[in-house]
Structure 1
Amino acid sequence: MQDNAQTRSPVDAKSAERPLGPALRRGWRRKCPNCGSGPMLKGYLKVRDHCPVCREDLFHHRADDGPAYMTILIVGHLAAPLLGTVWMAWQPEPLVLFTIFAIGTVALSLYLLPRLKGAMVAFQWARRMHGFGRES
């Protein structure tokens, strides 16, 4: 009977080297999921082709609309109950309520969007999705 380490494919052996938790934390901070020090994004949402520090290829990502959907999901689930609670507790003027919640939801969305994109790219990197698992 062969040793389990010998029967494992190279991709299986390498997959243990990419823990999900640290990669997601690095992505949330918009840093390279590999080294954690190089910037992942150039500009607001544009992902770099590679990390300027460790040269890890990042162009494989397929984040597409995922970060926007997650942002809408989170902001909506926070804003809707809060809107109802504020209305029931204080009954502010509708224009005041609209202004406060419009500013709050836009600000929260602008804060979350690049962080969720970084986390999504880091998730794909950690799980070797969309070409991240290929050997260079």
Structure 2
Amino acid sequence: MSNLQTLTDERPTKPAVMRGLRRRCPSCGEGMMFDGYLSVAKTCPVCQEELHHHRADDGPAYLTILVVGHIIGFAVHFMWVQFRPDPLVMATVLTVMAVGLSLFLLPRLKGMVVGIQWARRMHGFGGPA
């Protein structure tokens, strides 16, 4: 396979995003993308795709804040209008909900960002050496 053909091989974004959301390798979808909670593996254990090129940085954290903030904002309004709970109870429930949702979403959104970078050949993912 020539270098030019390698650079022009199509990498569909949607499957890479879906695999990233499942915390799987964006290339094969089989291997786990993460070594730990948020540390991306150097290579995929199944297909040996190099994943160390990623530059997710603060993007997943910003996306997590955006999503969780909207959900919690809706929940505040809904809880207050429907149930009128004691403010301390409401604050406790929403805090636990925000932390749990953040912990759930953060690695998935990081996987999504890495998948997008892989599909678009950003930051050394299949680009010219």
TM over 0.5, yes or no?
Answer: yes
- Is residue 2:53 matched to residue 1:64? no
1:117 aligns with 2:110: yes
Cα offset for 1:82?
A: 1.7
Q: Supply the distance in 2 between the matched residues of 1:95 and 1:132 (Cα, whole angstroms).
A: 48
How far the C-alpha of 1:26 sits from its partner, in A, is 0.6
Q: Indicate which of 8, 12, 16 corresponds to 1:13.
A: 8
The structure having more radius of gyration, on CA atoms, is: 1
Runs of 4+ in structure 1 off by over 6 angstroms are none
- 2:7 and 2:127 in contact (8 A); partners too: no
After TM superposition, the score normalised by the length of structure 1 is 0.87
Residue 4 of structure 1 corresponds to: none
**Deviation digits for residues 35-73 of structure 1, max 9, x if unmatched?**
110110011000001111111000000001100000000
Partner of 2:70: 77
Q: 1:12 to 1:42 in 2, by over 3 A?
A: closer
Structure 1 partner of 2:33: 40
Question: CA offset at residue 84 of structure 1?
Answer: 1.6
* One-letter amino acid matched to 1:106: V
> 1:51 maps to which residue?
44
Q: 1:52 and 1:100 mapped to 2: Cα distance?
A: 39
Asked whether 1:31 is paired with 2:24, we answer: yes
Residue 133 of structure 1, CA deviation = 2.2
How many Å apart are 1:20 and its aligned residue? Answer: 0.7
Cα distance in 2 for partners of 1:92, 1:108 equals: 21
Q: How many residues align?
A: 126
Checking the alignment, whether the CA contact within 8 Å between 2:7 and 2:126 is kept in structure 1 is no
Q: Give the deviation of 1:78 after TM superposition.
A: 1.0
Let me know the Cα RMSD of the aligned residues.
Answer: 1.5
Gaps of 5+ in 2: none
Unmatched tracts of structure 1, length 5 or more: 1-8
Report the identity percentage.
Answer: 54
